[in-house]
């Protein structure tokens, strides 16, 4: 339970950052930073146009909500430093939902953000393991399937869309498989190293006659 001192002093913040799970805090901070940059860019674009489109206004509100969720997850990570699957899944849902909404609004220009689905999936794979890459993959496939169905542009370019959808299906599976292989190899190497050390220690002990 965090006290008021934890939130109002530099030492309190330093202690919370030190105790927070580094992978979750890093991802949450990155989410806020990237979202804030995109939000500022969209706001500048909005105020710079005499008659901004409704889609641009929607994107500004979307990014405001996205940054708010990102800040909330960051504060949650600091307030409750235990590893939280719920926090991780909430982040996955927020990332994929924002990407899906952007694709629905941007039409042809949305092609430049399709890669974010994979970025989110790979990031969760390397941070948290194969379980979370699968969750992220399912969210990405569901999100992009909605885009293919509801977007005027993507529904008219369904072959390209299906090709990208296949990539969302295959690439995270491949990365997840490679992660499991590398992790298994690491565990085997650590086990072999432990056995080697134990063998050396047993040989170095004096023998009683």
Domain positions in the chain: 1-83, 109-202
- pLDDT tens, position by position, 92-111: 999 999 999 989 988 887 88
Residue 97: the pLDDT is 95
Compute the distance between CA of residue 143 and CA of residue 58 in angstroms, rounded to an integer.
18
Q: Which one, of 90, 97, 142, lies nearest residue 116 by Cα?
A: 97
- pLDDT tens, position by position, 141-174: 999 999 999 998 998 999 989 999 999 988 888 8
N residues, the chain: 209
Range 113-126 average pLDDT: 89
Residue 208: the pLDDT is 53
First to last CA, the chain: 59
Range 72-98 average pLDDT: 93
In b/e form, how buried is each residue of 98-115, taking b as 16+ CB within 10 angstroms?
bbbbbbbbbeeebbebbe
Residue 149: the pLDDT is 92
Is residue 11 classed as helix, strand or coil in its secondary structure? helix
- pLDDT tens, position by position, 39-54: 999 899 888 888 888 8
Higher pLDDT among residues 127 and 142, named by residue: 142
- For the chain, give the percent of residues with pLDDT over 70: 94
- As given in the structure block, the two tokens for residue 125 are 């794979």
Q: 23 with 127: CB under 8 angstroms?
A: yes
Q: Which one, of 175, 108, 184, 109, lies nearest residue 140 by Cα?
A: 175
Compute the distance between CA of residue 56 and CA of residue 46 in angstroms, rounded to an integer.
7
Average pLDDT, the chain: 86
Q: 172 with 118: CB under 8 angstroms?
A: yes
Residue 207: the pLDDT is 57
Q: In the block, which residue shows the tokens 């090709």?
A: 163
Residue 180: the pLDDT is 76
Compute the distance between CA of residue 110 and CA of residue 118 in angstroms, rounded to an integer.
15
Q: In the block, which residue shows the tokens 């939130």?
A: 7
């Amino acid at each position: 339970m965090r006290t008021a001192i934890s939130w109002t002093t530099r030492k309190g913040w330093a202690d919370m950052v030190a105790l927070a799970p580094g992978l979750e805090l890093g991802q949450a901070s990155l989410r806020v930073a990237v979202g804030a940059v995109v939000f500022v860019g969209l706001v500048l674009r909005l105020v710079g146009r005499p008659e901004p489109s409704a889609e641009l206004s929607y994107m500004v509100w979307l990014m405001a909500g996205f940054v708010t969720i990102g800040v909330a997850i960051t504060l949650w990570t600091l307030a409750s430093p235990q590893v939280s699957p719920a926090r991780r899944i909430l982040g996955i849902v927020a990332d994929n939902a924002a990407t899906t909404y952007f694709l629905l609004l941007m039409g042809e220009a949305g092609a430049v953000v399709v890669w974010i689905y994979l970025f989110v999936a790979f990031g969760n794979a390397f941070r948290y393991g194969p379980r979370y890459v699968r969750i992220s993959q399912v969210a990405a496939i569901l999100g992009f399937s909605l885009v293919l169905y509801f977007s005027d542009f993507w529904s008219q370019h369904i072959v390209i869309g299906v090709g990208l959808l296949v990539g969302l299906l295959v690439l995270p599976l491949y990365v997840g498989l490679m992660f499991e292989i590398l992790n298994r190899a690491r565990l085997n190497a650590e086990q072999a190293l432990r056995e080697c050390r134990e063998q050396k220690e047993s040989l170095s002990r004096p023998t009683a006659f």
